[in-house]
A and B are shown apart, each in its own frame.
Chain A
Amino acid sequence: DIQMTQSPSTLSASVGDRVTITCRASQSISSWLAWYQQKPGKAPKLLIYKASSLKSGVPSRFSGSGSGTEFTLTISSLQPDDFATYYCQQYNGYSGTFGQGTKVEIK
């Protein structure tokens, strides 16, 4: 099974900061990676698919990059609505493993 490792687990940042979250796959997944945002008590929301494609309606301050085994989610200027937990997910073939999540907290 493909394992996904996210870092950091927790990130403290201020409004306006540039934030970067990293996700590593245990083997190459090409660009088959998605990023989700989840707020407490709510279902996750898709932000990025195919590593760097922004879902329609998602603010352009979110961006994704990477391929193979190393991927990055960047928030260019953190907004109050962005404090949440973020998950990466690989979907190579027929499986769909998640990373353990990164909680973005107010500094």
Chain B
Amino acid sequence: QVQLVQSGAEVKKSGASLTVSCKASGYTFTSFGITWVRQAPGQGLEWMGWISAYNGNTNYAQQFQGRVTMTTDTPTSTAYMELRSLRSDDMAVYYCARVLNPTGMGAMDVWGQGTTVTVSS
């Protein structure tokens, strides 16, 4: 079946970097995009950015530009999200999701299980 499986929970210090992985299975990886969304405790969904698994093009939300990098590894059907210079307000559940468009943003029809990130000082 189509699924996205994310890496496990992380505990990081302020100022450190975070990398979350998202392994896809059950579909042709390069026929879709991947987006990253986060949700702080008790808050709404925040779109972080998008990467095309087809051509590697990216677009990041303005508030993360310069601090986030999204990549894909086609042979392993895995997407990665790196967030640098972590702060306390980066504590959240991070989700990856499949985008119904290989070359631009679209609706997200399959979601990972989420990765909980804790940031301590």
A96 in the interface (beta carbon within 8 A): yes
B32 in the interface (beta carbon within 8 A): no
A78 in the interface (beta carbon within 8 A): no
A85-107 interface mask toward B, CB cutoff 8 Å, 1 = contact, 0 = none? 00101011111111111000000
B29 in the interface (beta carbon within 8 A): no
Chain B residues with CB under 8 A of A44: 37, 45, 95, 97, 108, 111
Chain B residues with CB under 8 A of A89: 45, 47, 107-108
B10 in the interface (beta carbon within 8 A): no
- Size category of the B interface is 20 to 34
Complex Cα–Cα for A96 and B35 (A): 9
B46 in the interface (beta carbon within 8 A): yes
Q: From A34, A38, A49, A95, give the contact of B59 (CB < 8 A).
A: A95
Chain B residues with CB under 8 A of A91: 101, 104-107
Complex Cα–Cα for A40 and B61 (A): 25
Closest to A55 in B: B109
- Size category of the A interface is 20 to 34
Closest to A33 in B: B107
Closest chain B CB from A73 CB (angstroms): 14
Closest chain A CB from B56 CB (angstroms): 13
B114 in the interface (beta carbon within 8 A): yes
A1 in the interface (beta carbon within 8 A): yes
CB pair A46–B108 under 8 Å, yes or no, is yes
A7-45 interface mask toward B, CB cutoff 8 Å, 1 = contact, 0 = none? 000000000000000000000000000101010000111
A-B interface, 8 closest residue pairs, ranked by CB to CB distance from nearest? A49-B107, A94-B59, A43-B111, A34-B107, A91-B105, A96-B47, A101-B44, A98-B45
